[in-house]
Structure 1
Amino acid sequence: MTQPLQNSGKGDLHKLKADVLLLVTALIWGMAFVAQRVGMEHVGPFTFNGVRFAIGAAALLPLALRSGRSMRPAPGMQAPAWLGCLCAGAVLTLGASLQQIGLVYTTAGKAGFITCLYVILVPIFAAFLGGRTPLGTWLGALLAVWGMYLLSIGEDFSVNRGDLLELVGAAFWAGHVLVAAWFAPRMNPIHLAVGQYVVCSALSLCVALFLGESFAPAGLWDAAVPILYSGLLSVGVAYTLQLVAQRDADPSHAAIILSLESVFAALAGWALIGEVLSPRGMLGCGLMLGGMLLSETWPYLNRRGRGQTA
Structure 2
Amino acid sequence: MNKNSLRGESMLLVAAFIWGIAFIAQRVGGNMIGSFTFNAVRMLIGGFTLLPCIYLLRNKTTIDNKPDVTKKQWLNKNKQLYIGGILCGIILFFASNLQQIGLSYTTASKAGFLTALYIIIVPIIGIFFKKYPSITLWISIFFALCGIYLLCITDGFNISTGDTLVILSAFAFSIHILAIDYFSSYVDGVKMSCIQFFVCGFFSSIAMFLFETPVLSSILQAWMPLLYTGVLSCGIAYTFQILGQKNVIPSIASLIMSLEAVFCALGGWILLGETLSFKELVGCLLVFSAIILAQIPSSARVKTDTIV
TM over 0.5: yes
Secondary structure of 2:154's aligned partner: coil
Query: Tell me, which stretches of 5 or more residues in structure 1 are unaligned?
Result: 1-10, 302-310
The 8 Å contact of residues 126 and 132 in structure 1, kept in 2 or not, is answered as yes
State the match for 2:131 in structure 1: 131
Tell me which stretches of 4 or more aligned residues in structure 1 moved more than 6 Å.
Answer: none
Partner AA of 1:100 in structure 2: Q
Query: Tell me, which stretches of 5 or more residues in structure 2 are unaligned?
Result: 301-308
1:90-169 pair list within 5 angstroms? 90-169=90-169
Q: Deviations over 1:168-188 (max 9, x none)?
A: 110000000001111111122
State the match for 1:13 in structure 2: 3
Q: Deviations over 1:3-56 (max 9, x none)?
A: xxxxxxxx6222122111111110100000000010012110001001001001
Using the alignment, how far apart are the partners of 2:194 and 2:59 within structure 1?
13
Using the alignment, how far apart are the partners of 2:19 and 2:271 within structure 1?
15
Q: Deviations over 1:184-209 (max 9, x none)?
A: 11122111110111100000010111
Using the alignment, how far apart are the partners of 1:275 and 1:70 within structure 2?
49
Q: 1:299–1:207: structure 2 CA closer, same or farther, 3 Å change rule?
A: same
Correspondence 1:176 to 2:166: no
Once the two structures are TM-superposed, the CA of residue 294 in structure 1 deviates from its matched residue by 0.4
Using the alignment, how far apart are the partners of 2:60 and 2:206 within structure 1?
33
State the match for 1:306 in structure 2: none
The 8 Å contact of residues 103 and 111 in structure 1, kept in 2 or not, is answered as yes
Correspondence 1:56 to 2:46: yes
The 8 Å contact of residues 71 and 189 in structure 1, kept in 2 or not, is answered as no
Partner AA of 1:16 in structure 2: L
Using the alignment, how far apart are the partners of 2:286 and 2:126 within structure 1?
23
Using the alignment, how far apart are the partners of 1:97 and 1:177 within structure 2?
16
Secondary structure of 1:299's aligned partner: coil
Identity of aligned residues (%): 37
Once the two structures are TM-superposed, the CA of residue 81 in structure 1 deviates from its matched residue by 2.2
Question: Could you tell me the TM-score, scaled by structure 1's length?
Answer: 0.89
Using the alignment, how far apart are the partners of 1:65 and 1:176 within structure 2?
25
Q: 1:70–1:205: structure 2 CA closer, same or farther, 3 Å change rule?
A: farther
The number of residues matched between the two structures is: 289
The 8 Å contact of residues 68 and 188 in structure 1, kept in 2 or not, is answered as no
Question: Could you tell me the TM-score, scaled by structure 2's length?
Answer: 0.90
State the match for 2:12 in structure 1: 22
1:1-310 pair list within 5 angstroms? 12-66=2-56, 67=58, 69-72=60-63, 78=77, 80-211=80-211, 213-299=212-298
Once the two structures are TM-superposed, the CA of residue 217 in structure 1 deviates from its matched residue by 1.8
Using the alignment, how far apart are the partners of 2:278 and 2:285 within structure 1?
10
Secondary structure of 2:158's aligned partner: coil
Once the two structures are TM-superposed, the CA of residue 68 in structure 1 deviates from its matched residue by 5.8
Q: Deviations over 1:105-155 (max 9, x none)?
A: 000000000000000011111221232432222211111011000000013
State the match for 1:5 in structure 2: none
Q: 1:70–1:107: structure 2 CA closer, same or farther, 3 Å change rule?
A: farther
Q: 1:123–1:71: structure 2 CA closer, same or farther, 3 Å change rule?
A: farther
Larger radius of gyration: 1
Once the two structures are TM-superposed, the CA of residue 70 in structure 1 deviates from its matched residue by 4.3
Using the alignment, how far apart are the partners of 2:145 and 2:62 within structure 1?
39
Pairwise CA RMSD of aligned residues? Answer: 1.8
